[in-house]
Structure 1
Amino acid sequence: MTVLSQTVPRRPRVSPTVLLGLGLATIIVLASLLAPMLAPFDPLRMAAGPRLAAPSLAHLFGTDEFGRDLFSRVLAGGRLSLGIGISAVVSGLLVGGVVGLAAAFGGRLTEAVLLRVIDVLYSFPDTLIALALVAFLGPGIENATLAIAISLVPFYARVTYGLAAAERSKPYIEAARLAGIRSGRLVRVHVMPNIGQSLVVMATLGFSSAILSAAGLSFLGLGVQPPSPEWGAILASGRNYITKAPWILIFPGLAICLTVLSFNLIGDSLRDLADPRRKARS
């Protein structure tokens, strides 16, 4: 007698890594969005407690060199760091996606020129490009966001071109061209729906790089300027007190680490799900 359970297909199990990533990301995003309500003190208020006070019930993360509550500053810093990361990734993906699609469907001359430009820019590390742009534009939140977005353009342009070029060689594209469909409509109606999922996955992975770049620029004094409570800026202000008050570096550093880890876990899991050659795991 055939067992009924053997005839019913098993539902795919949700990976524990994606659950962990989603859980961490949800907590971090909600805590950042609700920072004005969750923060017990004004993040810019000096002398909210004793200078360099250790973590306690009154100040969960301790205080910094000016007596500012570190827990409140880390919460407020999440809004800045996440805002910079999202703005930079969305802008870089839009510009890079347009460039990549133009290279794939703009003709041989356009493809050759754009690919050479992309290759030259892609040969430089994105952090180096962001540093050079901020040094030229000047420090500040807007300039740091713009610099990080521009530094991500070559990566997203190369990824988009690779995906679009793979779609370009498929029979349905040739059939659409024979039917008289123009390149603009062809990209919008046929190509983008097929590569959009992969671009979302790459954007999730690129968000972690944007967070690290924003923190790095602020740590070097080229990003968010004091007294704004950005995670990298908090690390920079606490490096002189690493032996006397290590909590000034521990908690914002832990926030950066958990944020990057959560989005990397989500991106890796989405990439595995989007891969048709993915094998089932126990």
Structure 2
Amino acid sequence: MPTPKLYYEERTPSPLEQVWVQFRHNMWAMIALHILGAIVLFTLFAPVLAPYSPNTQFTDALSMPPAWTEEGTIRFLLGTDELGRDMLSRLLYGARLSFGLPFLVVLAAAAIGIPLGALAAMSVGVKSSTLKHLLDVLLSIPSLLLALIIVAILGPGLDNALLAIWLVLIPQFLHATRNAVHDQRHREYVIASRLNGVSQWYLLSVVIFPNTVKVLVVQLTMALSTAILDIAALGFLGLGAQSPAPEWGSMLAKSVEVAYSSPWVMALPGFALFITLVSVNVVGDSLKSAIDERIKR
């Protein structure tokens, strides 16, 4: 027989649960989150979801309009391009190049920039000051311009474009983490923990780092948006993904020649880029607002 509870116990939600409660009350944030979830599914399962190979050409269906038009057919739901390639398949496979790869590049840059930034913030003296001024100089140059310089040195190609963007994003994470940790170092709770004799690792990982989550969320969002835009821009300029790769920026560049005769060839990858960037930014801003609300309470 179970022992009856004699006292009422009120469970306090964890910080993560409190942030989620605030986040899900925002309708636009939930819509953007579901869109991002769909894009992630497209990225992971493109070979299963795509009806055709992205480079398969159907010579009997050149520049076929989408299925909802009179000339369209359900065989090609979003139509075909000037070479008879299925647009739906190219968009699904393109999510891997235009969203999946930037996401991995951002994670790789964060894995290096965040620890280095935290270590730089915990150090003092000439090294810390020199690093700060060097980062200020690097960040004064637009990320796309830096990526263009690196690609110009290494040569065009998707691999070199990803490497260039990775090298550009590392200083951004380093700078953001350094400033966030440095701002927390002189707070009362940090001073109290230091007086209690905790180690530097404990002070950084347990005391300081959880209070920099808001800054890191904003930085991750900005970095992902920057990576997506830069890869698309380099692809559009012919310095990133090369044809016939179904990267959205490269698809936009190739569609300029047929923009008037086949407008859907340009509109579809442009809309995919737009909805992806908006969703990333809305989710990031909503997370930041939810964290702010949780801190205020």
Settle same-fold status: TM greater than 0.5.
Answer: yes
Q: 2:111 aligns with which of 78, 86, 94?
A: 94
Residue 47 of structure 1 is matched in structure 2 by 58
Q: In structure 2, do the counterparts of structure 1 residues 167 and 78 end up closer, same or farther at CA, with 3 Å as the change threshold? A: same
Alpha-carbon distance between aligned partners in 2 of 1:158 and 1:274, rounded to the nearest angstrom: 21
Counterpart code for 1:106: S
Q: 1:24 aligns with which of 35, 43, 46?
A: 35
Residue 4 of structure 1 is matched in structure 2 by none
Contact 1:103–1:112 at 8 Å: present in 2 too?
no
Residue 282 of structure 2 is matched in structure 1 by 265
Alpha-carbon distance between aligned partners in 1 of 2:104 and 2:60, rounded to the nearest angstrom: 34
- Following superposition, the deviation at residue 107 of structure 1 comes to 1.6
- Of stretches 260-269 and 17-26 in structure 1, the one that deviates more from structure 2 is 17-26
- Following superposition, the deviation at residue 103 of structure 1 comes to 2.4
TM superposition score normalised by structure 2: 0.83
Counterpart code for 2:190: I
Contact 2:214–2:288 at 8 Å: present in 1 too?
no
Specify every segment of 5 or more residues in structure 2 that has no aligned partner in the other structure, as ranges.
Answer: 1-20, 67-71
Alpha-carbon distance between aligned partners in 2 of 1:120 and 1:210, rounded to the nearest angstrom: 20
1:127 aligns with 2:173: no
Residue 100 of structure 2 is matched in structure 1 by 83
Alpha-carbon distance between aligned partners in 2 of 1:61 and 1:277, rounded to the nearest angstrom: 43
Aligned residue pair count: 270
Within 5 Å, which residues of 2 pair with 1:212-231? 212-231=229-248
1:103-159 superposed Cα distances (whole Å, 9 cap, x missing partner): 211222121011011000000011111111111122222221121122222322222
Alpha-carbon distance between aligned partners in 2 of 1:248 and 1:19, rounded to the nearest angstrom: 29
1:54-104 superposed Cα distances (whole Å, 9 cap, x missing partner): 222221222112211111101100011122211221122222223322321
Counterpart code for 2:30: L
Contact 2:176–2:215 at 8 Å: present in 1 too?
no
Alpha-carbon distance between aligned partners in 2 of 1:169 and 1:114, rounded to the nearest angstrom: 20
- Following superposition, the deviation at residue 208 of structure 1 comes to 1.7
Within 5 Å, which residues of 2 pair with 1:133-152? 133-152=150-169
Counterpart code for 2:133: R
TM superposition score normalised by structure 1: 0.88
- Following superposition, the deviation at residue 161 of structure 1 comes to 1.6
Counterpart code for 2:229: L
Residue 45 of structure 2 is matched in structure 1 by 34
Residue 205 of structure 2 is matched in structure 1 by 188
Counterpart code for 1:246: P
Alpha-carbon distance between aligned partners in 2 of 1:193 and 1:106, rounded to the nearest angstrom: 19
Residue 234 of structure 1 is matched in structure 2 by 251
Contact 2:29–2:286 at 8 Å: present in 1 too?
yes
Alpha-carbon distance between aligned partners in 1 of 2:121 and 2:52, rounded to the nearest angstrom: 52
Q: In structure 2, do the counterparts of structure 1 residues 190 and 251 end up closer, same or farther at CA, with 3 Å as the change threshold? A: same
Residue 82 of structure 2 is matched in structure 1 by 65
- Following superposition, the deviation at residue 192 of structure 1 comes to 2.1
SS in 2 for 1:52: coil
Q: 2:177 aligns with which of 160, 165, 172?
A: 160
Aligned-pair identity in percent equals 39
- Of stretches 109-118 and 135-144 in structure 1, the one that deviates more from structure 2 is 135-144
Alpha-carbon distance between aligned partners in 2 of 1:204 and 1:193, rounded to the nearest angstrom: 18
Contact 2:118–2:177 at 8 Å: present in 1 too?
yes
CA RMSD of aligned residues (A): 2.2
Q: 1:254 aligns with which of 243, 260, 271?
A: 271
- Following superposition, the deviation at residue 51 of structure 1 comes to 1.9
Counterpart code for 1:111: S
Counterpart code for 2:37: T
